[in-house]
Structure 1
Amino acid sequence: MSDKHLSYADRWMLNYEREHQNVSRPTHQQYGQQFPDRQTIRAGLSPAMQSNNPGSACLWNDIPGLATELDPVVESAIQTRKALKLTQESFSRCLGISAKTLRDWEQGRRHPSGAAVTLLAWASLQPEFVRELHRASKARQRPDRQ
């Protein structure tokens, strides 16, 4: 394979290795037990996580202990949003928060604060008001046709 098909980082590394013959990349054997071998890693994966294509990344997170617990209020807000058939963007617009913030809450990357928990609880308990807010925001977006 020619150098022009390599990434910038790989090309830089090859050039560096050509210029510095006495330096080489550390191998797995040089690190000993610090890095587990491929078979050990595969043995620890659940069947859903094992890839049919060994060169591809795994997109599922089934490893115990890595999954984060969602706040019950966030879970009920997710159920409400899905019951109303709203996207994260439209639901967040109705609540007056950013879509990124809602996405982070729903994916467990962040947790809502006290006021945000109250807002999500209200949205879960009063879905008809959220529906009305959504209708009103859609009406504001469309110019009146006469």
Structure 2
Amino acid sequence: MAAVTVTGSLGFFGREAIPSSRAPELWFRPSEVASKGAFLFASEPRKATLTGTSWTVTLEETYDFPEDVHYLPEIHYFSAGGNLTHVDELRRKIRVPAGGGSISNFPTEPQPGAIIVDAGPPKVTGVVYIDWANVTSDGVLVYAPESSV
């Protein structure tokens, strides 16, 4: 249970920086109020520090919460007068592993209903998968952890 530093990059498609005239802010909104041990965490969003296309933010590790806690990133854009003009929301859950680090190294988890084609077992847990590599005379093997059914 720890607050860790998380880093990454932010820009438009094409990897160009968002112009400072758009006054972007990157926020990480916790999914819910949560608890770890005797500590109760409020759902107050955390603001990242932006420098060019790079950002850094302090977040709580989320894999060891008893609840399904994750962060939902939001990019806020402001006018020259300081008025909010637009919000971009990433709909993918961001779960922070022990130690934090670069978001590019975080495990990605499939969204509900996603179909992933890959060789070998999935690199995430709690998903149903079909093992096409080990077809027997009875057919293919389907693995379904109890938590995913």
Q: Report if TM-score (shorter chain) is over 0.5.
A: no
Of structures 1 and 2, the larger Rg is shown by: 1
With a CA cutoff of 8 Å and minimum separation of 6, indicate the structure with the bigger relative contact order. 2
Bin for the TM-score computed over the shorter chain: under 0.3
| TM-score when normalising by structure 2 | 0.25
| TM-score when normalising by structure 1 | 0.25
Structure with greater strand percent: 2
